[in-house]
Structure formats: structure tokens, C-alpha cells
Amino acid sequence: MSLNLTDSVMDQLLDALVEKGWFEWPKAVSEALCQQLLAEAEFHDQQGQLQTAGVGRGDIHQLNHDIRRDKIRWLDGSSNAQQTYLKQMADLQYQLNRALFLGLFEYESHFAIYKPGDFYKKHLDSFRGRANRMVTTVLYLNPHWQPDWGGELVIYNEDSSAQLTSVIPKIGTMMIFMSEQIPHEVLPTQQPRVSIAGWFRCNTSIAGVIDPAK
């Protein structure tokens, strides 16, 4: 089960990231691996092992129910499925660095479950000059998603004046975008919606302290 990263997909991905800052990649990750990751996320949900997600990081971390309603669990590589997925993301990181010289040095990611009615209002994942999230990935794990269930990821242009695309959170699809550049939003979902959101980070040290992950 390896990433569906052919030369042709890689060319499309690189062109899209450079030219417009985002790329929708259908069938990026095999359905079998997505099913295993989905089962894991659902298990953690049933066990009450998901946490309320925050907005911002470190000192400015604040719970904000008005902005986002999803529940999350950070991946820690503790299962075969997670290890396989994280290995695939490491391959992608290598390819992105090789082609774009982005200096990505690590990947952090979490499961996210949105229950009916949940959303994530328009936001950026990173703020220019300060943060070190460079490239966002979102992998969707939902088999048989129906278009009228809502829960689309909406991508806006840089000044948020226009909607550029909306992505159906269908199993295997991965959305990749520049974290500082692309405003985006998760519309309210009508059915449980499961994904893995992740960020390739570059290494910034602030006042001599290496910025910790998460």
C-alpha cells in the first residue's frame, strides 16, 4: 500500500502548488489503508479518546466552540496503519523538498471527527512570518459520501473574496495547500465526517528555543 505518487501526479501537484497554492488529489491513498485509519478513528471516538480541538498554539491556544466543532486525536505512529500513512507522508515531504526547496522537516497530523452540525469557519492554518506550518494535507476517510450531506471543504482566494473550489470529503481524496496562503472552511456536515489533517513544518526557532510540535 504505497502512495499513488506517479511522476505525472507529482508534476501536477508541483505545478498546482506553485501556480495556485492548492491541489485536489483523488485516490491519493489506497481505500484499504483509509478503511483501517477510519476504523481506528471510530474506535478512539467510541472510547471517548478524542479531544476538543483548539485554535492557535502554545500560549494563544484557546478552545473556541464558535470557530470549530471537530474533535481530534494526534497520530503517534502506534499502529501499523498509522506507520504506513506516516511513511507515505515522509515520502511526500522528501519529494516536495527536492522539487520546491521548502525545507520541510517534520509532519504533524491528527484524526478529526465532525459530528452532524459540526463545522470549521473560514481560517488560515498558519500566519506569515510567525508560524512554521508550511503545507497542509487533509485526507478524507468517508466511504459512500453523498454530495447532499454537506461537509465540503471550501477553498477561497488569498483575500477571501471568491470561492475557488469545494471538495467532497470522499475516501482516499487528499487536499494539499499552502498553509499561509489559502483561506478555507469546513461547511456544516449532516453526517459524521472523518479526516486526517496534517501539516509539514519547517524548523523555526524562537529566542533560541526550538518550537515544539503541536
**What three-state secondary structure class fits 77?**
coil
Residue 184 contacts ligand OGA per CB under 6 A: yes
Distances (CA, A) of 74 to 28, 52, 80, 125, 197: 21, 11, 15, 16, 9
> Which residue pairs, CB below 8 angstroms and at least 24 apart, start in 44-48?
44/73, 44/111, 45/71, 45/113
Strands 22-25 and 174-178: antiparallel
Residue 153 contacts ligand OGA per CB under 6 A: yes
Binding mask 132-151 for ligand OGA (x = CB under 6 A): ------x-------------
159 burial via Cβ count (<10 Å: 0-12, 13-18, 19+): exposed
Least Å distance, CB 112 to Mn ion, is 10
92 binds, among ligand OGA, Mn ion, none (CB under 5 to 8 A by kind): none
Residue 195 contacts ligand OGA per CB under 6 A: yes
Q: Of 86 and 168, which has the nearer Cβ to ligand OGA?
A: 168
Q: Which stretch binds Mn ion (CB under 5 A): 36-44, 91-99, 123-131, 202-210?
A: 123-131
**What three-state secondary structure class fits 58?**
helix
Residue 22 contacts ligand OGA per CB under 6 A: no
186 binds, among ligand OGA, Mn ion, none (CB under 5 to 8 A by kind): ligand OGA
Residues of this chain that bind ligand OGA (CB under 6 A):
112, 120, 125, 138, 153, 184, 186, 195, 197
Residues of this chain that bind Mn ion (CB under 5 A):
125
